[in-house]
Amino acid sequence: MKVVNSVLELFGRTPLVKLNKLTQDIKASVYAKMESMNPGASVKDRIGLAMIDDAVKRGVLKPGGTIIEATSGNTGIGIAIAATVKGYKCIFTMTEKVSVEKRRYLQALGADVVICPMTAKHDTPEHYVSVAKRIAEDTPNSLFMYQYNNPSNPEAHYKTTGPELWEQTGGKITHFVGSLGTGGTVSGTGRFLKEKNPKIKIIAADPYGSIFKTYKESGVMTEGTPYLVEGIGQDMLPENVHFKYIDEIINVTDKDSFHMSRRLSREEGIFCGGSTGTNLVAALKVAKGLDENGLVVFVVCDTGERYLSKHHSDEWMREKRLLEKDKVTVGVVFQTKLSGGLPNLVSASPNETIGEALNRLEEYNISLLPVLDDNKSLGSLTEADIMSRIIENPAIIEKKVSELMDKPYPVIDESDDMKHGIQSLKKSPAILVSQYGRIIGILTRIDVLDFV
Ligand SMILES: Cc1ncc(COP(=O)(O)O)c(C=O)c1O
């Protein structure tokens, strides 16, 4: 087994994973750059370590010093891991928008965290960058890392992420898709890849509400508007966004980002954050227009565990009105019937008499009965049918149900779409609902109308 001397030796050299299911209608290959497999589970580990090493080299970070940084969490985690190993203290400023998981992670690494208002504009004293600057001025032997203009940030990606992608794809990469937070990932990786082959397209994915796309396309600085994806997009221009290496910026909505992030987890087993969803929406859009020579790499920026209380929670998605309408299943309609206090299943047995079955119809004030034996559906009885037969021949009241029953109702699993249930209800007055192969209830046309 390979042994490393500290966790820092595990930063970078992340795998590329081919997508198989999300790309079924796409000719090009699409690969995920698994930055979530770094020790701090994000793309920002690379710059945390690089910015510290560079600051030490330049003599601006001294032994026992305190590192201050304004972060959406991941850079803080990268810095805090490297700082722990190398013996520095950390203070981070973050906005309220950042998930509680990231905040607690930083605190677990021994860092101090200062939470700033999310609504503060970038040049006001309350903004998290201004607060970080102020803390740095007031803290002896400290250094404000400032990932937004620190050249070690894109440099780390120029030296590591870019060469890894070139090597891992054997120089065949045609498109690189990343998102813009500080700009470090896209600027550094983009510069390296363009130097290797200027034809490689560098695509930036950006949330609607961020200013980057409009600025790149028109040179106009707009006002940013709020969005929910964390860590990417801006309302100002960081120095580390090097537009000259970016060919195209694609805007993505919160809803599309979060749903794509959830799909990557569910369909490919890659558990990721929201900005990865943003990247993947853009990557698939680009890949759709390519032939089999296309090789698209997108960045898996961080792990989904950081967002269990956010977009990986149905409750949160519902609260933000981002959840697609739940599919109406047979089970959903059946649960609604049960909550109305109706009995879930009243049935007749094949060996009892018609008279006994009739009593049950009256007792429960219902008009039809499935005939079940050992949970198997054998037939059915309807009140109207029995009544007309009794009027013709009163003696049948003593006959066995099995002798006079009609055909059985169809059995439909509770997980089936209610559309299938409705198709069956067009031909049959009722359907039986099954769960794990056992009949658990009955739905009539009236039950479905009540649901609607
Ligand atoms: C979750 C997440 N995704 C993507 C990014 C973007 O990376 P970069 O700052 O290199 O542009 C960040 C940056 O903070 C981030 O936190």
pLDDT in tens, 21-30: 999 999 999 9
422 — pLDDT class (breaks 50, 70, 90):
very high
Average pLDDT, the chain: 94
Cβ–Cβ < 8 Å for 410, 404: no
Shared-domain flag, residues 170 and 287? yes
The total number of structural domains in the chain stands at 3
- Residue among 71, 72, 93, 189 whose CB has most ligand 1 atoms within 8 A, to mutate: 72
Per-residue pLDDT tens digits for 364-398 = 888 999 999 999 999 999 989 888 888 888 888 99
Place of tokens 């809803």: 255
Q: 302 CB under 6 A from ligand 1?
A: yes
Shared-domain flag, residues 200 and 308? yes
CA–CA distance, 29 with 19 (Å, rounded to integer): 8
- For atom 7 of ligand 1, which residue has the closest CA? 181
Helix (H, G, I), strand (E, B) or coil at 22: coil
Helix (H, G, I), strand (E, B) or coil at 367: coil
Across 272-281, average pLDDT: 98
- Residue 362 CA, ligand 1 centroid: distance in Å: 67
- Residue 352 burial by Cβ neighbours in a 10 Å radius (0-12, 13-18, 19+): middle
- Residue among 179, 234, 246 whose CB has most ligand 1 atoms within 8 A, to mutate: 179
Per the domain annotation, does 335 fall within a domain?
A: yes
Per the domain annotation, does 324 fall within a domain?
A: no
Of the candidates 18, 27, 33, 44, the residue annotated as catalytic is: 44
pLDDT of the residue at 293:
97
Shared-domain flag, residues 315 and 370? no
pLDDT at 49 over 90: yes
More confidently predicted of 151 and 332: 151
Per-residue pLDDT tens digits for 310-331 = 999 998 998 898 987 667 889 8
Could you identify the atom of ligand 1 that is nearest to the CA of residue 47? 10
33 classed as catalytic: no
- Residue 411 CA, ligand 1 centroid: distance in Å: 51
Helix (H, G, I), strand (E, B) or coil at 222: coil
Per the domain annotation, does 74 fall within a domain?
A: yes
Per the domain annotation, does 325 fall within a domain?
A: no
Shared-domain flag, residues 354 and 407? yes
Up-side HSE of residue 86: CA atoms within 13 Å toward CB? 25
More confidently predicted of 387 and 179: 179
pLDDT of the residue at 340:
67
Per the domain annotation, does 1 fall within a domain?
A: no
Shared-domain flag, residues 140 and 203? no
Residues 6 or more apart whose Cβ sits within 8 Å of residue 80? 40, 48, 90, 92, 106, 109, 110, 111
CA–CA distance, 450 with 2 (Å, rounded to integer): 64
Closest CA to 250 of 221, 287, 294, 292: 287
CA–CA distance, 449 with 451 (Å, rounded to integer): 5
Place of tokens 């805090």: 80
Per the domain annotation, does 305 fall within a domain?
A: yes
Backbone angles phi, psi at 348, to 5 degrees: -110, 155
Shared-domain flag, residues 242 and 114? no
Q: 185 CB under 6 A from ligand 1?
A: yes
Per the domain annotation, does 52 fall within a domain?
A: yes
Cβ–Cβ < 8 Å for 67, 35: no
DSSP string, 56-80: HHTT-S-TT-EEEEE-SSHHHHHHH
- Residue 331 CA, ligand 1 centroid: distance in Å: 41
344 — pLDDT class (breaks 50, 70, 90):
confident
CA 408 to centroid of chain Cα atoms: 43
Per the domain annotation, does 93 fall within a domain?
A: yes
- For atom 15 of ligand 1, which residue has the closest CA? 231
Q: 111 CB under 6 A from ligand 1?
A: no
Shared-domain flag, residues 271 and 358? no
- Residue among 47, 157, 232 whose CB has most ligand 1 atoms within 8 A, to mutate: 232
Shared-domain flag, residues 366 and 441? yes
CB-CB neighbours of 49 under 10 Å: 26
Backbone angles phi, psi at 306, to 5 degrees: -75, -10
Shared-domain flag, residues 36 and 118? no
Find the domain containing 112 and state its range.
45-144
Across 218-245, average pLDDT: 94
- Domain boundary among the residues 129, 144, 159 is at 144
Predicted structure pTM score: 0.76
Q: 155 CB under 6 A from ligand 1?
A: no
Which CATH number goes with the domain that contains 406?
A: 3.10.580.10
Q: 14 CB under 6 A from ligand 1?
A: no
CA–CA distance, 97 with 75 (Å, rounded to integer): 15
Q: 188 CB under 6 A from ligand 1?
A: no
More confidently predicted of 135 and 122: 135
Shared-domain flag, residues 167 and 27? yes
- For atom 6 of ligand 1, which residue has the closest CA? 181
Q: What percent of the chain has pLDDT over 70?
A: 98
- Domain boundary among the residues 109, 144, 179 is at 144
Long-range contact pairs involving 355-363 (C-beta distance under 8 Å, separation at least 24): 355/397, 355/398, 357/381, 357/386, 357/401, 358/383, 358/386, 358/397, 361/386
Per-residue pLDDT tens digits for 285-311 = 999 999 999 999 999 999 999 999 999
Shared-domain flag, residues 35 and 129? no
213 — pLDDT class (breaks 50, 70, 90):
very high
- Domain boundary among the residues 319, 348, 377 is at 319
Which CATH number goes with the domain that contains 104?
A: 3.40.50.1100
Shared-domain flag, residues 206 and 272? yes
Q: 152 CB under 6 A from ligand 1?
A: no
